[in-house]
Amino acid sequence: MPMGASDSKSLRTSGQVDGNPAEFEYTRNGELQLLSYRFADSDRVETLQREDIIALLPVHAQFPDDYSILYVVPPDNASARKIPLFQSMIATRLPEHFIHDFSPSGSSCWQLRSDRDGNKGRPNLHVVISTLSGAGLALDLFYNVVKHVLSYTGLQESRDYVVHCTQSERTITELTTSVFLPRANEGNAQAIVLLSGDGGVVDVVNALLGGRRSNQYVRPSIALLPLGTGNALAHSLDITTDNTLGLATMIKGAHQPLPLFKATFSPGARMLVHEGSRQERLQFDAGGVSAIYGAVVCSWGFHAGLVADSDTAEYRKFGAERFQMAAKEALFPADGSEPHRYKAM
């Protein structure tokens, strides 16, 4: 029978939760996906909803009926906790529809990588922690959630993956140029887990496409755990439709090409960096034209100015409210001056 068909036999099973007898019922109705279970010695029903479930992973080949359910408890307004709380349980004899819906796809980012970097023995799974993205939660999320999730997949730090913490706004670009691009040019399939905002993806893309690529070049796979303020790319890809901050997509999502665009500029164009205090030359494409590659959004005029003005350490403290604050300052400058006038061409 197809997995989409109704099969009450596979939606209700008797099994165990952490060794205790329990009855399972899996409800799947449109967007609603809910696992309910009741212990044999209790009338209380516990539930796990799709939005909180990261993945379902087999415990051991010798115990084919046993699975680890990885899930999160989202922070609430009454708690000082700002990141989800990681939880897990071992469930035995789950409904088969539930197993099908929440098991890794086989084509997720972390699965599509070379085990080792040629004969050099270096892992090809990289975790990049952007320490200053958004509200600065990336380190906490890695140590309290991501690291636990990776351990359940059998991956250990240093042996199976490398952790990189950013030291400046140039770190991801430099890391891509010095590590990701050379290994890609050697034909190594790499997986990059980015704990960052949209800027982390843009930095990787520009460093890869702005460099020289060999005939052996293999495009790295990227899993984005959106920890920026706007997270436009994650929203457009539906990564943020649950409470797992991208972990469900990382573990069981399918591999898809990333739509990219290229913007070219006239000679002498410069890029403003360090909160507009410095200028940098733009990189050149193969034809010698100044170019920037993007994967999120391309804008100009007021919207571009708003994004740039709000991208400061002071504004980032306020989260998504920074855009409204920057817009107010742009339209009604605090010093009483006229707002900037844009000219269309």
Domains parsed from the chain with CATH numbers: 8-102 (2.30.29.30), 109-257 (3.40.50.10330), 262-331 (no CATH)
Least Cα distance to 233 among 295, 172, 173 occurs for 295
Q: Which residues of the chain have pLDDT under 50?
A: 1-9
Q: Measuring CA to CA, how many Å separate 9 from each of 5, 26, 36?
A: 12, 10, 15
- Give the neighbor-by-neighbor strand order of the sheet with 191-196: 162-165, 125-129, 191-196, 221-226
The burial of 162, by beta-carbon neighbours within 10 Å (0-12 exposed, 13-18 middle, 19 or more buried), is given as: middle
Rg of the chain (C-alpha set): 23
In this prediction, residue 315 carries a pLDDT of 79
Q: Would you say 261 and 296 are in contact if contact means Cβ atoms under 8 Å apart? A: no
Distance between CA atoms of 235 and 242, rounded to whole angstroms? 11
Residue 48 pLDDT: 98
pLDDT at 6: 46
**Cβ neighbours of residue 308 closer than 8 Å, sequence gap 6 or more:** 272, 276
pLDDT number for residue 93: 98
Contacts of 257 (CB under 8 A, 6+ apart): none
Which segments of the chain are extended strands (E)?
12-17, 20-29, 32-39, 45-49, 53-60, 63-73, 85-92, 125-129, 162-165, 191-196, 221-226, 261-265, 270-273, 278-281, 290-294
For residues 62-93, b (16+ Cβ closer than 10 Å) or e, as one string? Answer: eeeebbebbbbeeeeeeeeeebbebeeeebbe
pLDDT at 111: 84
Element (H, E) at 10: helix 8-11
Q: What's the rounded Cα separation, in Å, for the pair 314 and 229? A: 13
Please give the Cα distance from 82 to 99 (Å, whole number).
30
Q: Does residue 87 sit in helix, strand or coil?
A: strand
227, 138 in Cβ contact below 8 A?
yes
Q: Considering only CA atoms, which of 184, 189, 190, 188 is closest in space to residue 214?
A: 184
- In contact, 180 and 192? CB cutoff 8 Å: yes
Q: Residue 277, Cβ neighbours under 10 Å: how many? A: 7
| pLDDT given for residue 118 in this prediction | 56
pLDDT at residue number 9: 42
